[in-house]
Structure 1
């Protein structure tokens, strides 16, 4: 035990470890002990990083790109990010408005550190990605959770949002397609949110990490298309982790007002310095090389998504919104709360997830981690065989509850 004078900082004590990583670690430990665990907890594509991207990373090492780069990332990659935004969205940005970071999570952390002062409030729609509230807290801010309704496909209700606005509101986080729900915010709801953000002068933080994995026709609605006036108060967060199966390469980026990016570069210069150089060159190859991999991902996920949703909806008491993007389903299992198995009461999503892991040997993530205790998150970034076996086990386990 640490002596009193070396006690941990209060900001650390108020933050819990990532529950998604914790579940994944527990599942791996059980599997290592010989259990036949079917893992639906991990948030990464099961396809391998494209070969040409891997080759670019190897080539970078062979060519000696193993030293420091500029803190904000190599100029070639930042220019490629700007070119992609111009081609895909029609938005003009300069390389100095881009920060390359160690994954999208790192970029979001830098944003909050750069803009939040003690007492500043950040609006976070729930269900939310697990790391938003802790990152706000670590920056001294206050996360303000805005519940979204399942019956509204987890879209925004601007009137409900207005109830959470105070004079301390400084920013709002938008994640569409969403982790964990796979929902996509509609153009109309984004337009209403945009007006509020513009009128109040909020910073808009858009987490676009799943934009390439969409099951709708046409482009994903975006707040900058809904209201281009927000450009100077919006920061875009993205990366190659999901769209090119590069989670372990740790490359993300933020794009926004140059004053904010400069501040974030100060923070990055004193924390990680630059992201890994070979990973940056691999990401450059991802953005400038063949672009068929995201389409391959979508085509792989479509039948899995359909089977998952259709099967979940046949289970008595379970409801499930059909995801429009990402690779998650987020079914509502609250009809089973209050039931028990061998005296073990299922009193919420944590208890149900633990029950499914121990009895059905199926690893999931409890909805409580995402601010929505009625739900459980499943990733369908795994084989159809695993999905079918997993759904059979879950059906049996739920039927055993009394």
Structure 2
């Protein structure tokens, strides 16, 4: 039996997505910038996808900018936002638990002379609002906070963060990395006070190599890719029509069944947590099961290094993660878990299970059966 519990790293494409990707690669393959019929056909896929995403977010189609994925969306929001607004101030705020796609561009901006404040989190991984309140200033130009933490599934109080920004730093852009939240929550940027929102396709059963950035029509952003002037000059380069079309179809499908999908993932998460509670010295990390994101369960199997557990499960056809899949193959101690105050031995024993609506109770039971068999054995081995 093969069990894939690493859906926060990537997901299987829906069949409907595969079909439209093949069609736009082999039949309707025109360049959307071309003025002939083939180009017009291709451009329609791009416009349709923008319309689908705009409907889901309740925003305007012109506020959807297609990118190569979450990392580019984050980079454009942060670097483009900071550079376009540096005359208004020099201060940027983010958190201690951001994905490298945010933390690395922020470090780059720091090297360019911007002042950066990193907000602490509590033991669940949730940002401390009083810390935000204390550091917001009139010269704060950008605040970037993830919606759902990719390692432990902590859900940030996005609307409350936005309210406090508006009160104390009304000129600041509010960027939200929603890469683990889109397709799991109903997100309405205008209602929630979000200026910039990053989304990645392959986390929601869409193709890899495509995503989008919602840019409020009021937000000033400096383009980072220059050339042919596509997408109103905001991101030059030929549109990735197969990816964009697949993203639109994936988003439409996942939101059509959102409530049922979310409930199924929560039930699976609870079922696994209940089964793991029978194995001694396994700790659940982050928020309570129903408070955290439905798709992420972070556990620490004390006495067993995460890489050892990961490969032992892999031998039995079970695929999980020992952290973020996006930070390269070289494992470094998790800055997120350290920021939560987790001791070193627990960090080294932490793994992430991440689900999709395609996972089953049968897969969960097989995982639990294997865990009951291998954990005592791995602990005996590690003591030698």
TM-score, normalising length: structure 1: 0.65
SS across alignment from 1:284: helix
Which whole-Å deviations, capped at 9, do the CAs of 1:183-223 have from their partners, x for residues lacking one? 2234xx74255223442132111122333554xxxx66878
Counterpart in the other structure of 2:295: 327
Alpha carbons 1:158, 1:192 under 8 Å: kept: yes
Contact 1:176 1:184 in 2 (8 A): yes
Q: How does 1:223-372 map to 2 (within 5 A)?
A: 225=191, 230=193, 234-243=195-204, 245-248=205-208, 250-257=210-217, 260=220, 263=223, 266=226, 273-287=237-251, 291-292=255-256, 294=258, 297-298=261-262, 300-314=264-278, 315-316=280-281, 318-320=283-285, 321-323=287-289, 324-331=292-299, 336=302, 352-357=305-310, 363-365=321-323, 368-372=333-337
Provide the secondary structure at the position in 2 that maps to 1:310: helix
Q: Which of 51, 62, 65 is the aligned partner of 1:79? A: 51
- For 1:380, the equivalent position in structure 2 comes to 354
Look up the SS of the partner of 1:162 in the other structure: helix
Report the aligned-residue RMSD.
4.1
Q: Residues 151-207 of structure 1, C-alpha deviation per residue, up to 9 Å, x if partnerless?
A: xx4334321333455676432222223322222234xx7425522344213211112
Q: Which runs of 5+ in 1 are unaligned?
A: 1-35, 87-92, 342-351
The partner residue of 2:173 within 203, 220, 231 is 203
Q: Which runs of 5+ in 2 are unaligned?
A: 35-42, 315-319, 324-330
CA shift in 2, pair 1:258/1:292, >3 Å: same
1:147 aligns with 2:120: yes
- How many residues get paired? 330
Say if 1:102 and 1:358 are closer, same or farther in 2 by CA, change over 3 A.
closer
The whole-number CA distance in structure 2 between the counterparts of 1:387 and 1:275 is 41
Question: Is the CA contact (8 Å cut-off) linking 2:119 and 2:127 kept in structure 1?
Answer: no
Matching residue of 1:96: 62
Q: Deviations over 1:120-156 (max 9, x none)?
A: 5533334332332112223445654322112xx4334
TM value normalised by structure 2: 0.68
Residue equivalent to 1:391: 371
Alignment CA distance shift 1:145-1:387 (3 Å): farther
User: Shift in Å at residue 85 of structure 1?
Assistant: 1.9
Cα 1:357/1:192, change in 2 over 3 Å: closer
Relative to structure 1, the CA distance from residue 41 to residue 398 in structure 2 (aligned partners, 3 Å threshold; closer, same or farther) is farther
Q: 1:367 to 1:316 in 2, by over 3 A?
A: farther
The answer to whether the Cα contact below 8 Å between 2:138 and 2:168 also exists between their aligned partners in 1 is no
Distance 1:390 1:69 in 2: 53
Tell me which residue corresponds to 1:15.
Answer: none
Whether the 8 Å CA contact 2:57–2:187 is kept in 1: the answer is: no
Report the 3-state secondary structure (helix = DSSP H, G, I; strand = E; otherwise coil) of the residue aligned with 1:174. Answer: strand
Separation (CA, whole Å) in 2 of partners of 1:389 and 1:274: 49
Q: Are 1:135 and 2:128 matched, yes or no?
A: no
Contact 2:143–2:174, Cα closer than 8 Å, also in 1: yes
Q: Give distance in 1, aligned partners of 2:21 and 2:2.
A: 33
- Native 8 Å contact 1:54 1:282 kept in 2: yes
Question: C-alpha distance in 2, partners of 1:158/1:61?
Answer: 47
**Alpha-carbon separation, structure 2, partners of 1:183 and 1:290:** 21
